[in-house]
Amino acid sequence: MKFLRNLLASCLGTSIAIIILIFFGFVLLTKMASSFADIDKVTVKGNTVLEINLGDAVKDYALKPDNIFDELFKEHEYQLSQIINAIENAKNDDNIKGISIKNLSINAGIAQTQTIREKLVAFKTTGKFITAYADFYTQKNYYLSSVADSIYVTPYGGVDFKGLSSERLFYKDFQDKYGVKMEVIRHGKYKSAVEGYLDNKMSDANREQISSFLNSIWSELIEDVAISRNKTVKELNLIADDLLARNSTIAIENNMLDGAIYIDQYEEILNTFVDGEANIITLEDYIDTGKGRIKSSASNKIAVLYAQGTILYGKGDETYIGQESMIKAIRKIRDNDKIKAVVLRVNSPGGVALTADLIWRELEILKKEKPLVVSMGNLAASGGYYIACNADVIYAEPTTITGSIGVFGTIPNFSELAGNIGINAEQVVTNKNSMGYSPYEPMTKDFYDVTKEGVEQVYTTFLNRVATGRNMTFDEVDAVAQGRVWTGKEALEIGLVDVLGNMDDAIEKAAELADISDYKTTSYPRYKKDFEDSFKSFPFMNVKEKLLKEELGEENYKALKEAQKMSQLKGIQMLLPYDIDIR
């Protein structure tokens, strides 16, 4: 019987293995056939229009697939520098006659979008055209598309132009009702990451900071739109207040759009611009032809060190910042004689204080040997600012979210819930503090005092780091700290950044500090995926997440993920107040 059972199990396993091999063989052949077809068709002919569609994720650092599984299953991502380089190459490419922006939505942050828009403004100086078309314009898409000479929409489309907003969730009443709460220890009256657990409404301090950075970002966006559309800021605010772009008719009347046409009519317009039949090449295909990089034979190098994602303790990869990969990369950069300067590109809301300090230390050593310039992306807040504060020069986009110099710790507590449902926890210890903390008992004053001491120590260290790096006094830093969030534009005024500019500006400054004029860039860290990690890209590995989104809806799913993230935080945190969802 045992022999028969083993035989059947062996046959079943073999059958499954054969099915998997057939499946992967079929997918591989399909992919190879597609790749060979692409090689034939991806060419830049005369009368070509570069079509920009940013529906795929735009990241500061997007890794190329390094194995067959990533190649087959990983969703396409753009690296910001590739987009910028492609537009620069298109500007000087005689075969590219113009650009067509065809987004429905933009999967990029506001600072990234602003960087791309600035590059499109530079593209127009050649005299080449830019047009835009969409079925409907989201606010961010309209901001990018407003750079175009002409903006078109479908007859039943419009523009979602209404100003910015941000929404916060508060859990105090929920905690009181169910007996599950988060114990909070913090420093910084603006450190509102934990405010949702302490009250059922927004504090005046938090409302003040949110209003401040929203208005700062909004003013930056509409000033750019005003220039492109030949309108005043006052006119644009009136349009936003009364939704005077909500459909194509009134949007055209208010000079927000230039025409309401169908896609075939838009294609005819492109043909007239190139004086013949327009050849369309997508941004992805144009990058694949090699136009996503600026060619250079220089021997001198500037390293771009990407700090992307939440700061956590551990190895790190392209989705989160870990001390292991960052420290390894920093030391390799330091030991490479061909690398003359470093640009630290930060796009992070912060995270674990310990990890941030370990990375800060390695950067401090590196800075003594090579110029260190920081370029801030969408976010460079809290721990993200901590690792940036001691650079020689700090660049930020006007719409960058930064600052948030504050510290907190959160610990879940179920003691009230446990009591309500009849659970009692008993402890046996050898010393007074052996137990430390139990989520099934109320937090003791002794434990609170010790944890608060740690929070205060980290906060003081944070302020001292910033004071030294920014040449400010402790009190000057404390006055603009307290966990408050600033935009890059505001941070420039209070001394937290040096210059408003993008990553190209930061790279040029690094070259200047290193006294080199001929150079090329090289990216770090260099991540290598384990075979096991590659399976995370498989479509069926994300089934649970997709099902939850469908069942709960996008907004409820986001609320669940935020609550989960907060409950998983361990140790003292330097983290942005919350996921800033600007609409």
Report the alpha-carbon distance of residue 538 to residue 280 in Å, rounded.
32
Whole-number pLDDT of residue 26: 55
| DSSP reduced 3-state for 50 | strand
What's the mean pLDDT in 243-269? 97
Least confident segment among 184-198, 278-292, 416-430: 184-198
Rounded to the nearest angstrom, the gap between the alpha carbon of residue 329 and the centroid of all alpha carbons in its chain is: 21
pLDDT tens-digit series, residues 116-146: 999 999 999 999 999 999 999 999 999 999 9
Which of the four pLDDT bands, split at 50, 70 and 90, describes residue 540? Answer: very low
Average of per-residue pLDDT across 532-545: 51
More confidently predicted of 103 and 395? 395
Model pLDDT, residue 23: 53
Of 136 and 17, which is predicted with more confidence?
136
In the prediction, which pLDDT does 191 show?
61
Residues annotated catalytic, as ranges = 191, 382
CA angle 187, 193, 197 (to 5 degrees): 95
Greater pLDDT, 53 or 561:
53
Percent of the chain at pLDDT exceeding 90:
60
Residue 415 pLDDT level (bands cut at 50, 70, 90):
confident
Place of tokens 């989201």: 138
What's the pLDDT at 61? 92
List, edge to edge, every strand of the sheet that includes 320-321. Answer: 181-187, 407-413, 573-575, 350-352, 310-311, 320-321
**579 φ/ψ sector (left φ>0, alpha ψ -120 to 50, else beta):** beta
pLDDT of residue 551: 55
278 has a pLDDT exceeding 70 = yes
Where does the pLDDT of residue 39 fall: very low under 50, low under 70, confident under 90, or very high at 90 and above? very low
Q: Starting at the edge strand that comes first in sequence, how are the strands of the sheet with 279-282 ordered?
A: 259-260, 150-153, 129-134, 96-101, 48-52, 279-282
pLDDT digits (tens, 9 = 90+) for 303-328: 999 999 999 999 999 889 999 999 99
CA distances from 345 to 204, 313, 365, 400, 463 (A): 33, 19, 18, 12, 22
Report the relative pairing of strands 57-59 and 301-308 from DSSP bridges: unpaired
- What is residue 574's predicted lDDT score, i.e. its pLDDT? 74
In the predicted model, what is the mean pLDDT of the chain? Answer: 85
- Tell me what percent of the residues of the chain surpass a pLDDT of 70: 81
In the chain, the domains with their CATH numbers are 42-162+243-291 (3.90.226.10), 301-575 (3.90.226.10)
Q: What contacts 490, CB < 8 A, 6 or more positions away?
A: 212, 213, 216
pLDDT in tens, 327-359: 999 999 999 999 999 999 999 999 999 999 999
Cβ–Cβ under 8 Å, residues 169 and 196: yes
Res. 188 pLDDT band, cuts 50 70 90: low
